[in-house]
Amino acid sequence: MHWQLQEAKQRFSEVVRQAEAHGPQIVTRHGHEVVVVLSADEYRRLQAGRPDFKDFLLAGPRLDVLDIRRDSTPARIVDLADSTPPQA
């Protein structure tokens, strides 16, 4: 069900009851969907099996086995003393 923001504020308890009984409730502002109210059980179900940020990073490639070398070629030298200021 869709709720206009003002109505959802006035009837928040009803929005929560509807989310528990009938699933996610969508709140709109100026005709655009802005938030979804859902039960804690539904939220946990959606989050189940998703790794947390730490697990996500630990699942990435091992950096200690990557062969990363810096180019040893010297950088070019730029002489800024001879530059002429741009003409307006």
pLDDT at 75: 87
Local confidence pLDDT in tens for the 88 residues of the chain: 999 999 999 999 999 999 999 999 999 999 999 999 999 999 999 988 888 899 888 888 887 877 778 888 888 888 888 667 777 6
The counts of H helices and E strands in the chain are: 4, 3
H or E stretch at 28: strand 25-29
| pTM of the model as a whole | 0.58
Question: Which domains are delineated in the chain?
Answer: 2-60 (3.40.1620.10)
